[in-house]
Amino acid sequence: MITIEKKLCTGCKTCLLFCPDEAIDYRDGKCFVDQTVCTQCGVCLENCAAQAIRFTPDTEELKIFQRAISNPGAGTTVTGGNSGRGGHEVKTLDVVPRQKNDEITINLDIGRPGVGVYLRDAERIVLALLEAGMKFLPGEDFPLATIIPDRKTGRFRPDCLDMHLHTLLVEGIFKQDKLPDIIRALQRVEKDIDTVICVGLVMPVDKNCRNSALDCLDTLGLPRPHRGKVNVGLGRPYPPDLSALPLP
């Protein structure tokens, strides 16, 4: 938990400028942290000359998760041991291999510093996408396990829905022919949420270097994205597990 020690606070308002979530209020010459908005990112801790801001480690699992997601430098096993918000090797899913040629991996960056996301909105987005054909990636590496106990239903823990984060990264996978359904699901759910979504798609181009996702956007009358990242295939599959071999 992040708090401000009232007697040390000079009311300089520097922390107000740095807080990316507008979680600090100023009243009667002092600053206070609104615990319902604070994401525990820790940015303010570095920017108080009076050293009036305190971090007290939490023992509650959800609060540890919140800090791990908002401050990847915090390090914890609550997010599956990842230092960061996403799974491992997302840029090389085709060679790991966790993605087949007829599949698309989707990376949703929900929220933004200054906008944030309450987890009740993130749950709405996840449920809409699961209904449209998305699945979570299989395997042990699931950073959202603390808040989503069952990957099949995608339902969030009821006691986390009021939690506020800068951003939440959600990664899933679906068959390429489901892309129109996925896009329509996002268009429907965006009317019910109070945050922003940045959508990333990871997919192979075909043998003629065509990207069928762009054709799909054309068909739906949506503008093509201005940005893309091309992985030219320098990734290699993981080496075999040599630990089982007898020692020389």
Minimum distance from residue 163 beta carbon to ligand SF4 (Å): 12
Minimum distance from residue 71 beta carbon to ligand SF4 (Å): 8
**Cα 223 to Cα 237: distance, rounded to the nearest angstrom:** 34
Minimum distance from residue 197 beta carbon to ligand SF4 (Å): 21
C-alpha distances in Å from residue 115, one per residue of 17, 28, 177, 202: 15, 26, 32, 25
C-alpha distances in Å from residue 232, one per residue of 48, 68, 81, 198, 236: 45, 32, 29, 23, 11
Q: Closer to ligand SF4 by CB, 99 or 167: give it.
A: 167
Contact 125, 169 (CB under 8 A): no
Q: Closer to ligand SF4 by CB, 48 or 169: give it.
A: 48
**Cα 61 to Cα 16: distance, rounded to the nearest angstrom:** 28
**Cα 5 to Cα 51: distance, rounded to the nearest angstrom:** 9
DSSP string, 127-170: HHHHHTT-EE--SS--TTTTT-S-TTT-PPPGGGTT-EESEEEE
Q: Closer to ligand SF4 by CB, 7 or 229: give it.
A: 7
Q: Closer to ligand SF4 by CB, 41 or 126: give it.
A: 41
Q: Closer to ligand SF4 by CB, 31 or 117: give it.
A: 31
Burial state string for 32-50 with b = 16 or more CB within 10 A and e = fewer than 16: ebeeeebbbbebbbeebee
Report the interface residues with ligand SF4, using CB under 6 A: 2, 4, 9-15, 19, 21, 23-24, 31, 33, 38-44, 48, 50, 52-53
Minimum distance from residue 216 beta carbon to ligand SF4 (Å): 38
Q: Closer to ligand SF4 by CB, 98 or 164: give it.
A: 164
Minimum distance from residue 162 beta carbon to ligand SF4 (Å): 15
- Going by C-alpha positions, the residue among 173, 198, 171 that lies closest to residue 186 is 198
